[in-house]
Copies of this chain bind each other. A is one copy, B any other.
Amino acid sequence: MTQAYYSQANHGPFAEHGLGDFELENGEQIRGLRLAYATFGRLAADKSNAILFPTWYSGTSKIVEQAYIGPGRALDPEKYFIILVNQIGNGLSSSPSNTPAPFGAARFPAVAIGDDVKAQYRLATEKFGIERLALVLGGSMGAQQTYEWAIRYPDAVRRAAPIAGLAKGTAHNRFLVQTFIDAIASDPAFDDGWYADAGRVHRGLRRHAGLFAASGFTPDLFNRRAWGGLGFTTREDFVTGFVENHFLPQDPNNLILLARKWRDADVTRGAGESLDASLARIKAKTFVIAIEEDGFFPLKDIAAEQEKIPGASLKRVSSVWGHLALFGVDPAYNAAIDSILSELLG
């Protein structure tokens, strides 16, 4: 089931870039690292129109494409060359689920946001010869990667738009993500990651989906049954049909690898400096975008980081979908994001 889910048929077309044996921040390595990516539009001769957009937790380049890219939208393939990069561990790029024994499954090494960004930098430079991106943006874990880009490679990022995410997770966010991990790992069928059939871990994946839904959407979404427009009826029908349906086909080890990466995200790690100093090194024109009702990354925490970034603007968007408006289900959110990104790119 997992292999069928992470397929070209489901999430493609996507291409792959091989990076060879890749050393990670923690000293381990991924043998024959592959980054899966999809591109839209044409790279200008002067390579000035490239945009890079990495994926969020449990998402692939396909949902990002569907939610953010199209003619007439801010990310218009008629104008820009847009690279959607799949995070390490998301099931399309090298992941626990697609790495053979002995290095796959529970043995796949821990990956940090900085590892992804280093690999993405090599993709941009080696594969496309792009030394400077017109825009790096992403939502949630994509925002974590965006911050890492802007701080690690300040001269390579002309503009940055982190959406609904932080450069350094708060204690509460780390705690919340740990409860997601525990919900999966506590399923006896998970077996420390050595399950033979990912589908047997469905109870843990369902509990994980429940926690994700209860805190990732707003209370009002449930209280006003705002999912009605999508054809769902009861809360149970919505959570099963929308959230469990999203997570059940995915690989538990992949999700836990991503969740740990999310939990531990911190642009200062290894740099030996304060968060203030890290954020001060950003040279990109930065629009920090927050969802006002976000329960994962509250507005006030996002605003506290934005204030430390030279010249950055805080842009607020409102949605009854909360953090998970990122998915593109709220037309008003989509329009607001397009307006903000158009201003940034203009």
Seen from chain A, the residues whose Cβ lies within 8 Å of a Cβ on chain B are 170-176, 178-179, 182-183, 186-188, 203, 207, 210-211, 213-215, 219-223, 225, 235, 239, 298, 301
Task: List 24 interface pairs A-B (beta carbons < 8 Å), by A numbering.
Answer: A170-B219, A170-B222, A171-B225, A171-B235, A172-B219, A172-B221, A172-B223, A173-B219, A175-B213, A175-B214, A175-B222, A175-B235, A178-B210, A179-B207, A182-B207, A182-B210, A183-B207, A186-B187, A186-B203, A186-B207, A188-B188, A211-B211, A214-B215, A219-B301
Prevailing SS type, chain A contact patch:
helix
> Is there an interface contact between A214 and B172, defined as CB atoms closer than 8 Å?
yes
> Is there an interface contact between B211 and A172, defined as CB atoms closer than 8 Å?
no
Q: Which 5 A-B pairs have the closest CB atoms?
A: A172-B219, A172-B222, A171-B222, A170-B223, A171-B223
* Cα of A213 to Cα of B171 in the assembled complex, Å: 13
Having A186-B187, A186-B207, one finds 7 other A-B pairs with CB under 8 Å, namely A170-B219, A170-B222, A171-B225, A175-B239, A179-B207, A179-B214, A186-B186
Q: Which residues of B contact A171 (CB under 8 A)?
A: 222-223, 225, 235
CB closest residue in chain B, given A221: B172
> Is there an interface contact between B214 and A301, defined as CB atoms closer than 8 Å?
no
A191 to chain B, nearest CB (A): 13
Q: Which residues of B contact A178 (CB under 8 A)?
A: 210
Q: Which residues of B contact A223 (CB under 8 A)?
A: 170-172, 301
A323 to chain B, nearest CB (A): 13
CB closest residue in chain B, given A213: B175
> Is there an interface contact between B179 and A210, defined as CB atoms closer than 8 Å?
yes
* Cα of A179 to Cα of B173 in the assembled complex, Å: 18
A139 to chain B, nearest CB (A): 19
* Cα of A269 to Cα of B55 in the assembled complex, Å: 46
* Cα of A290 to Cα of B222 in the assembled complex, Å: 21
A86 to chain B, nearest CB (A): 29
* Cα of A102 to Cα of B184 in the assembled complex, Å: 35
Q: Which residues of B contact A301 (CB under 8 A)?
A: 219, 223
CB closest residue in chain B, given A176: B214
Q: Which residues of B contact A172 (CB under 8 A)?
A: 214, 219-223
* Cα of A214 to Cα of B221 in the assembled complex, Å: 20
Q: Which residues of B contact A221 (CB under 8 A)?
A: 172
A123 to chain B, nearest CB (A): 35
CB closest residue in chain B, given A206: B182
A212 to chain B, nearest CB (A): 10
A198 to chain B, nearest CB (A): 18
* Cα of A179 to Cα of B216 in the assembled complex, Å: 14
Q: Which residues of B contact A203 (CB under 8 A)?
A: 186
* Cα of A93 to Cα of B203 in the assembled complex, Å: 34
A209 to chain B, nearest CB (A): 10
Q: Which residues of B contact A215 (CB under 8 A)?
A: 214-215
A304 to chain B, nearest CB (A): 10
A208 to chain B, nearest CB (A): 10
Q: Which residues of B contact A211 (CB under 8 A)?
A: 179, 211
Interface-central residue, A175, A182, A215, by most chain B CB under 10 Å: A175
* Cα of A275 to Cα of B61 in the assembled complex, Å: 46
